[in-house]
Structure 1
């Protein structure tokens, strides 16, 4: 069955809409953490919560788009839908973080870096990491500003790679089964 022009518009429209939703969810999460307590930026639970939130948004996106498809929802369609959404969400998040940590409150990124170093040292000590390893990790963190414009852009590339892998898995799961697979 051939993809109709309307199907193509639906997955692109849904990808854009859910990308904006993902980006706004990221902005809201970052704003809440920033407003409540900068220590939360080092919390693994916040990280797991964010992953769960983005996974939920991605699943809703793909379920909605698959239901709207009149033809076979191919692997490519599912991946493209998710990838459009991921790119827009990452873009919105990065732009917001650049503005927040480089224009509005550059001191916050210094505080978060110090909190990250303390958290990392504590975690490495719990796992009995050698002092040399801990010192190297501290040195790397001090030399790299993850909230600088370049640091955020580099981080976004890592996020895109992660999202690509994640998107490939989701696309394989959500694609329509062909009659021979049923």
Structure 2
């Protein structure tokens, strides 16, 4: 018998992936510099958490047994995993196959943004130059670096997922 909560989480994961792909494609098409804006990243994070929370809520509604912390976390994390994996694959194809020049342009924009931010915080010129040199030497869009970034992203979403699971879990009622 198919687990309805798993089916819901999988569906929401696909919806999340499609939504992220559309957002990234629109940002790519209209203004690459959006990828360097802090608020764009925060907006994507909020979008992911909202859709994963909606998935967890729906999974709780269809649950026929006690919706434990483990169930809530699994529903949330499966949605995040599938959605962000779809987005990762799209990003890899876009920046490593379709338009490698966009990856170079984004690296330059990121360097400019980093320089401005570090200067704004009053960082010494030596430290700024060191950070920029490291960014120039390392390809942010390589397969290995994108997988590393994905791993760190999953850790962040998992930490948020712990909080979401606490909110949506059901406690066993105790008769004292």
Report the TM-score when normalising by structure 2: 0.94
Question: 1: CA distance between counterparts of 2:165 and 2:52?
Answer: 10
1:177, distance to aligned residue in structure 2 (A): 2.3
- Asked if 1:110 corresponds to 2:104, the answer is yes
Question: 2: CA distance between counterparts of 1:76 and 1:114?
Answer: 43
List 4+ stretches of structure 1 deviating above 3 A: none
Asked whether the equivalents of residues 53 and 76 of structure 2 are also in contact (C-alpha less than 8 Å), the reply is no
Corresponding residue of 2:5: 11
- Asked if 1:68 corresponds to 2:62, the answer is yes
Corresponding residue of 1:161: 155
Where in structure 2 are the equivalents of 1:1-182 lying within 5 Å? 9-180=3-174
5+ residue gaps, structure 1:
none
5+ residue gaps, structure 2:
none
Question: 2: CA distance between counterparts of 1:130 and 1:58?
Answer: 41
Report the TM-score when normalising by structure 1: 0.91
1:70, distance to aligned residue in structure 2 (A): 1.8
Asked whether the equivalents of residues 146 and 155 of structure 1 are also in contact (C-alpha less than 8 Å), the reply is no
Superposed CA RMSD in Å reads 1.5
